[in-house]
Structure 1
Amino acid sequence: MENLKYRVIYEYEFHRGTSAAETARRINDVYGDGVAKENTVRFWFQRFRSGNFDLQNKSRGRPETKVDNEELKAIVEADPSQTTSELAAGSGVSDKTILIHLKQIGKVK
């Protein structure tokens, strides 16, 4: 079952006044051991107590990259003697990020 479906149950049990431990036990009795962890239910109950009843997770994806591969390629082709540290400093990113992008544009093996 999807996490969202369990969260609906958490909210229902919260409004009933059931404890987090009892809610986790009930869910595990029905859907199998380990499906609902007490700490997870406590986390959701804490959110509900603060007035937040949004059952969706906040997006936690990777941040968008600050490096444009075409721009990086033009910089490297204009001055191939630059080090990755210099390129990183100029772009405001880490050396590792520059290396990843250099690999994407075929400038390193």
Structure 2
Amino acid sequence: MEDLNYHVIYEYEFHRGTSAAETARSINDVYGCDVVKENTMRFWFQRFRSGHFDLQNKPRGRPEIKVDNEKLKAIVEADPSQTTSEVAASCGVSDKTVLIHLKQITKILREKNRRAVTLRPRLMAAGNQNIG
């Protein structure tokens, strides 16, 4: 069953005056153990008490970071002596994001001087090898 369907049940039970704990037990009895946790019910009931009856889940998690891998590749190939910090600053992202995207475009960083280098096909086939 989709989350929205459960949320309708939550709201229904809230309006009936059922407690969060009792609602969680009832739902788990009908739909299976641990379909909903009591803490989740408390969260939803608190939302309803605050007057928020929007049943859609709020977006959460990390925002999607968009780095154009082709642009990143061009930046690195234009000046391979740049550090990850310099590349990150020119792209407007964090060093970690640059590292993730460099790995995606088969680039790695030498640990000694943290400069970008291209992986050789032989090393790519062997997996993650320490180059340094």
| Between structures 1 and 2, the one with greater strand share | 2
Per mean C-alpha deviation after superposition, the further-off stretch among 60-69 and 2-11 is: 60-69
Q: Deviations over 1:57-92 (max 9, x none)?
A: 112254232422222222112111111122123323
Question: What is the match of residue 105 of structure 2?
Answer: 105
Question: What is the match of residue 88 of structure 2?
Answer: 88
Q: Which ranges in structure 2 are unaligned for 5 or more consecutive residues?
A: 109-118, 120-132
**TM-score (normalised: structure 2):** 0.71
User: How far apart in 1 are the matches of 2:18 and 2:64?
Assistant: 42
Aligned: 1:30 with 2:30: yes
CA-based RMSD of the aligned residues comes to 1.9
The residue type equivalent to 2:11 in the other structure is E
Q: Which ranges in structure 1 are unaligned for 5 or more consecutive residues?
A: none
* Matched-pair identity in %: 83
Give the secondary-structure state (helix, strand or coil) at the position aligned to 1:8.
Answer: helix
Q: Deviations over 1:11-70 (max 9, x none)?
A: 001011111111112222222332222111111011111111111111225423242222
Higher relative contact order (CA 8 A, sep 6+): 1
